[in-house]
Amino acid sequence: MESDCLFCKIVAGEIPATIHYDDEKLIVFEDIDPKAPHHLLIVPKKHIRSAVELTEQDNELVGHIYQVAAKVATDMGFADAGFRVVNNCNEDGGQVVWHIHFHLLGGRKLTWPPG
């Protein structure tokens, strides 16, 4: 836990969030400023600053993230229609919260390429 980290505080329950999934490795909660009808954030409980800081020790975690993304999308009813999992990494990637997270977006036709 990083004392000054927003997502560590959500993981610790110190800041409220609408949580849809919770296990020993990660939580999934609603993005406060949704960019699609379904916009969840998949957040590892371990503080990792960005995707650049991932190590081989995190391989299982990253695989688990995609399994949970598919499960949550299925449970919420938008898996068959389709969804997108996005990690914004560092400045050019558009990262603003410095605790790794994966956006799970669905519920509308998403355009490509992204802005």
97 binds ligand AMP (CB under 6 A): yes
Q: Could you give the C-alpha distances from 9 to 1, 12, 62, 78, 114, in angstroms and in order? A: 8, 5, 21, 29, 30
Tokens of 51: 């995707």
Residue 95 binds to ligand AMP (criterion: CB under 6 A)? yes
Which positions ≥6 away from 76 have C-beta within 8 Å?
20, 38, 106
Stretch that binds ligand AMP, among 43-51, 71-79, 93-101, 105-113 (CB under 6 A): 93-101
C-alpha of 40 from chain center: 6
5 vs 54, beta carbon nearer Zn ion:
5
Among 4, 33, 56, 80, interactor with ligand AMP by CB under 6 A: 33
Q: Which does 8 bind (CB under 5 to 8 A by kind): Zn ion, ligand AMP, none?
A: Zn ion
Tell me if residue 99 is catalytic.
no
Q: What does the alpha-carbon distance between residue 110 and residue 104 come to, in Å, rounded to a whole number?
A: 12
Q: Which residues bind ligand AMP (CB under 6 A)?
A: 6, 15, 17, 31-33, 41, 88, 94-97
